[in-house]
Homo-oligomer: A and B are copies of this chain.
Amino acid sequence: MNKEVIYLDHAAATPVDRKVLAAMQPFLSDAFYNPSAPYAPAIEVRKAYERAKQTIASTFGASADDIVMTAGATESINLAFHSISGHVVVTSIEHHAVLEAAKRHEHTVVEVDGKGMVDPEVVRRAIRDDTELVSVALANNEIGTVQPLRAIAEVVKTEREKRLQQGSDVPIYLHTDASQGVGQLDVHVSRLGVDLMTLNAAKIYGPKQVGLLWAAHSVSLQPQINGGGQERGLRSGTENVAGVIGFAKAIELAAEHRVHEAERLRKLRDDMQVKLLEAFPEAVVSGHPKHRLASYLHISFPSVDAERVLFILESSGVLVATGSACAANKGTRSHVLEAIGLEPSVADGSLRITLGHLSDETTCRKAVELIIEAVRREYSRTGVL
């Protein structure tokens, strides 16, 4: 990491942790064997791979046999949706991967409130007799709002029991993409009450293109990628040994430091939020004030062109996002900000600041100063304030 750079876009990408890289390294060199090969050194690789899967699963109260390793969250989400055939319910602020996967099914998109919260009662009303999947991200990737998954799980459970009583054999599952939450929230699958969960190594200082789909025993996954029969036939292809071992180290570290790190980031974030709102009382902070990822500060400066602010900040070494990396570069307005009802003139002045390992008091203080300076410059240029 360039020392002059202040990185405030941890939701888009995280650097691979040194410990993670160290764990991966042997499997990129000496222990390169194909884990399906029959000789002892390859069997050792197989064992290390299986141990890594067990480590990963243990961090969220699951078993290695119930996770399918994938090439990232997007593939995991696609696999979850591919496994069911009926109607699906998603929210209007889901990641594009969920929204696109939903389009291949009959689907209902439920709205969220102005804070980006999903009302379990609204989910309940959207469920039809043929609904097989409800998919709600644990934490939104643009504004950081954390959803009441436990309550949504209750809704799904009630529907399941109703169907059982009625003699219906249509299954219904709750899937969550917890990629953005795993380093800060409890993602224990029983406590969340979900049936399917997607995780991503790249958001927690692991390698890119390594993810997983966890599925409860009751779920019958249908492979999208067939071949040699790896991952219990659910996802073929020679295993990404180094990547999965890196994921294991990353999620182990995330679980170990989660509570402390969330607390640390919350203080840094709250401090930035207070100072920015002091400087710009008209600014709008999005996401739920309480149920929000500690690392997230989504703030909009009405009538400001966020892209211009972003470039001014970049020239001072501060890297922030205007939205999620996927949407930001396409010149389209964020569907999340539309869904929470942000006026276009407010939405267009939005910065997504996401903190993480590379954030500390010094860099955050410096960043606030530079953001205030940049926004003031834009306000004075446009003569709005």
Chain A interface (Cβ < 8 Å from any Cβ of B): 1-2, 5, 9, 12-16, 21, 28-30, 32-34, 36-42, 70-75, 77-78, 95-97, 100-101, 103-104, 202, 207-209, 224-230, 236-243, 307, 310, 314, 319-322, 325-330
Contact = CB atoms under 8 A, between A and B. Distances in A.
Contacts of A238: 13, 72, 74, 202, 208-209, 325
A50 to B, nearest CB: 13
Given A2-B30, A29-B16, A328 B36 contact: yes
B224 A224 contact: yes
Given A15-B30, A37-B325, A208-B242, 7 more contacts: A37-B321, A78-B224, A78-B226, A95-B228, A97-B228, A209-B237, A224-B225
Nearest to A2: B30
Contacts of A74: 225-228, 236-238
A329 B78 CA distance: 29
Contacts of A28: 16, 21, 207
A176 to B, nearest CB: 16
A96 B32 CA distance: 22
A8 to B, nearest CB: 10
Copies in the complex: 2
Contacts of A9: 33-34, 37, 39
Contacts of A325: 34, 36-37, 42, 228, 238
A96 B38 CA distance: 18
Main DSSP-derived SS at the A contact region: loop
Given A74-B236, A209-B209, A227 B39 contact: no
A77 B41 contact: no
A15 B2 contact: no
Contacts of A30: 1-2, 15
A236 B237 CA distance: 18
Contacts of A310: 38-39
A202 B327 CA distance: 32
Contacts of A307: 38
A9 B72 CA distance: 29
Contact of A227 (B34, B70, B97, B230): B97
Residue in A29, A71, A240 with the greatest tally of chain B CB atoms within 10 Å: A71
B209 A243 contact: yes
A32 B239 CA distance: 23
Contacts of A33: 9, 12-13, 319
A29 B1 CA distance: 7
A117 to B, nearest CB: 24
A253 to B, nearest CB: 16
A286 B14 CA distance: 49
Contacts of A104: 226
B41 A5 contact: yes
B29 A72 contact: no
B15 A236 contact: no
A10 to B, nearest CB: 10
A73 B32 contact: no
A227 B13 contact: no
Given A12-B34, A71-B240, A326 B229 contact: yes
Nearest to A210: B209
